[in-house]
Structure 1
Amino acid sequence: MRVFIAGATGAVGTRLVPLLLAAGHEVVGTSRSEARLGELERAGATGVVMNGLDAASVRRAVLDAHPDVIVHQLTALSGQVGDLKRFDEIFAATNALRTRGTDHLLAAAAEAGVGRFVAQSYAGWPTERTGGPVKTEEDPLDPNPTKASRETLAAIRHVEQQTTDAGGLALRYGALYGPGNDIGRGGSVIEMLRARKLPLVGGGAGVWSFCHIDDAASAAAVAVTRGAPGVYNIVDDDPAPVAVWLPELARAIGAKPPMRIPAWMARPLIGEHGVSMMTRVRGASNAKAKRELGWEPAWPSWREGFRRGLG
C-alpha cells in the first residue's frame, strides 16, 4: 500500500517509517522542515515539506502522494514538560494540529479518495477521574476537566470524533517513553528527576499507563491494515500509581528517590492539573487493541522498559 505519514520526522514517525517499509509498503512522509527530508530519503521513503496548519499545503501534499492510507502523527510535543498551571498554553501548538490539522487532512483524504485514516490521540488523564483505576475505550472522557486542561481535552475529543466519524482509527497512546522523549535518556523528565525537581505529590495515587515509543510505532503500523473504525488504547500491560513508578524511574536512572510533598503545598507550584496528574488520573486497558488489532507491546511493562528501553 502507499502510506502517507503526516509528521514522519516526529518521535513516532521516525520509528514508523522503517516498519512500514520493511512490511513492503511505499511511504511518503512529511516534515515541516526541508532540512529533515534527507532523513526520510535515506530511510527509503519519499519526503515532502508540509505545513499541517495550512489547508493548501496539506491538500497539495496529499493529492500529489495519491495514498491508500493516511497516518496522522502531527504534534509539537517535544520538550513540553513545564509549568502545568499553563497546560493548555504549553500544548497550544499540538492542539491546533489536533483540530485544524486533522480537519485539513480529512478534507484532503476525502478529495483524494483515501480509504483508511489513522490518527494519534492520548490515553490516561483525559478519561474521567472517578470509578475504577483503569479505563477502557467505553469509559467517557472527563466531563469536568481541570481548568488548565480544557482546551487540550477539547482538542483530543475533536481528533477522535472527526477521525471515527470519517471511518478512521484513533490510537490513544499512553505516556510515551524511550529515545527522543521527555521520559528518555537526556529528556526533560529524567533531568528533573536527577535534579530532585520532580517530587511525589500527596499519596501519588494517580494511575498512569505507559507506552514505549517503539510500541506506539508498531501499533500504528498494524492499524494501517487492521482494525475496525474506532478508538484504541495503545498502552502496556502494567498501569501503575505514581507512588510506584516514579521511585522506580529514579532507581532505574541512578537518581535519588523523589522528595515527597503534600498536595496543598504542591498546588501553588503545579496547579490543579499537576496535582490531578499525581493523585487522581486513571490508567488505560489495552485489551481491545490486543483483541481487535492483534497488537502486542514488545515492552509489556514500563518496569523493564525504564531499566533497558530509555535509550
Structure 2
Amino acid sequence: MGHRIFLAGASGAIGHRLIPQLLAAGHKVTGTTRNADKAATLRALGVEPVVVDVFDADALSRAMLADRPDIVVHQLTDLPSGLDPSRMGEAVVRNARIRDEGTRNLVAVAVASGVRRMVAQSIAWAYAPGPEPHGEADPLEDGASGNRGISVGGVIALEKAVLNAPFAGVVLRYGQLYGPGTGADTAAGASPVHVDAAAYAALLALDKGAPGVFNVAEPNPAVSTQKAVEELGWRADFRLPA
C-alpha cells in the first residue's frame, strides 16, 4: 500500500528523479516548489503541486495540514543552475539558511500534521578530518572556517532538527551529485553519487532502515556506504530507464 508523500523541493535535481520512482511504487505525491512556473511541470509528471516558500511557516502549515502526508521527504536546496562558481558565494549562505531555518519550519509543521517519518538530504563531505573511510558516527567538522563553516553549520542544524524530532528521522548524506539536472555529467569529487541512485536511496528510506544517518555514495576511500547497502538495500549503480 502506498504512502502519502509530501516532497519538499520536488522541482530540484533529486526531486525530478525521485518523482517517477515514488509514483511507480504506488505512492501519492504532493510536491512543493517556490516557482509558480514549475507547478505545471510537476502536475504533468503526476504530482499534486503546491507553490510555497519554506520560510513562510504559515503557508507551509496550511499546505501540509491540507495534505496530511504520512511521510515528508526533504530535498530542499538553494543552489544556482550548474553550480555557477560566480554565484556560489551567496548561494552557500542561502543554502545554509534553508538547511537551518527552512528545516526547522518543515519539522515543526510535520509534527503538527502528524507525520510519522521524514527523510532528509544532507551531504557526505562535511566530516571532520580523521581516519577514512568515514562512517556515519564520525563527527562533522563543527567550527570550520569560511564557506565550509557556513555549509557545515547548516548541515549540523538540519540533522539535529530531523533526528531530534518526535517522528522517525532519516538523514541521507549524499556524495557529490552528477547526472541529469546536477550541472555535472560525470562523477567528480571524493565521494560521487549519480542523482538517480541518490533518489533511489530516498525511496528505499521511506520503509527501510532505522531512524538515523546513512552515507550515500559510490564506493570510494573517503566514506563508507556499507550501512546504506546493508540496511536499505541500496545500490550505487541504480539508474532510471533512459
* Alpha-carbon distance in 2 for matches of 1:143, 1:284: 18
2:50 matched to which residue of 1? Answer: 48
2:179 matched to which residue of 1? Answer: 178
Q: 1:81 to 1:146 in 2, by over 3 A?
A: farther
| Matched ranges for 1:188-267 at <5 A | 208-239=190-221
1:288 paired residue among 227, 235, 239: 227
Q: 1:208 to 1:64 in 2, by over 3 A?
A: same
Residue 81 of structure 1 and its aligned partner are, at CA, apart by 4.3
2:82 paired residue among 79, 82, 91: 79
2:12 matched to which residue of 1? Answer: 10
Residue 238 of structure 1 and its aligned partner are, at CA, apart by 3.1
2:151 matched to which residue of 1? Answer: 152
What's the CA shift string for 1:23-43, capped at 9, x where partnerless?
001000011111111111111
Equivalent position amino acid for 2:149 in 1: R
Equivalent position amino acid for 2:101 in 1: R
What's the CA shift string for 1:13-57, capped at 9, x where partnerless?
011111000000100001111111111111111111010111112
1:116 matched to which residue of 2? Answer: 117
Secondary structure of the structure 2 residue equivalent to 1:48 = strand
Q: 1:49 to 1:143 in 2, by over 3 A?
A: closer
Is the 1:4–1:67 contact (alpha carbons within 8 Å) kept by the matching residues of 2?
yes
Normalised TM-score (structure 2):
0.90
Is the 1:69–1:114 contact (alpha carbons within 8 Å) kept by the matching residues of 2?
yes
Q: 1:127 to 1:180 in 2, by over 3 A?
A: same
Q: 1:88 to 1:131 in 2, by over 3 A?
A: farther
* Alpha-carbon distance in 1 for matches of 2:60, 2:102: 8
2:237 matched to which residue of 1? Answer: 298
Alignment RMSD, CA only?
A: 2.2
What's the CA shift string for 1:63-115, capped at 9, x where partnerless?
111100000011012333426xx966431111111011101111111111001
Q: For structure 2, which runs of at least 5 residues remain unmatched after alignment?
A: none
What's the CA shift string for 1:144-187, capped at 9, x where partnerless?
523332121111001111111113001100000011112128xx
Residue 225 of structure 1 and its aligned partner are, at CA, apart by 1.4
Is the 2:82–2:184 contact (alpha carbons within 8 Å) kept by the matching residues of 1?
no
Is the 1:88–1:149 contact (alpha carbons within 8 Å) kept by the matching residues of 2?
no
Is the 1:233–1:285 contact (alpha carbons within 8 Å) kept by the matching residues of 2?
yes
Residue 129 of structure 1 and its aligned partner are, at CA, apart by 1.8
Q: For structure 1, which runs of at least 5 residues remain unmatched after alignment?
A: 191-206, 240-282, 300-304
1:24 matched to which residue of 2? Answer: 26
Q: Which moved more, 1:39-48 or 1:105-114?
A: 39-48
Secondary structure of the structure 2 residue equivalent to 1:160 = helix
* Alpha-carbon distance in 2 for matches of 1:160, 1:235: 18
Equivalent position amino acid for 1:90 in 2: A
Q: 1:111 to 1:143 in 2, by over 3 A?
A: closer
Equivalent position amino acid for 1:170 in 2: V
- Structure showing greater Rg: 1
Equivalent position amino acid for 2:83 in 1: Q
* Alpha-carbon distance in 2 for matches of 1:128, 1:70: 29
* Alpha-carbon distance in 1 for matches of 2:211, 2:130: 27
* Alpha-carbon distance in 1 for matches of 2:89, 2:208: 33
Residue 130 of structure 1 and its aligned partner are, at CA, apart by 2.7
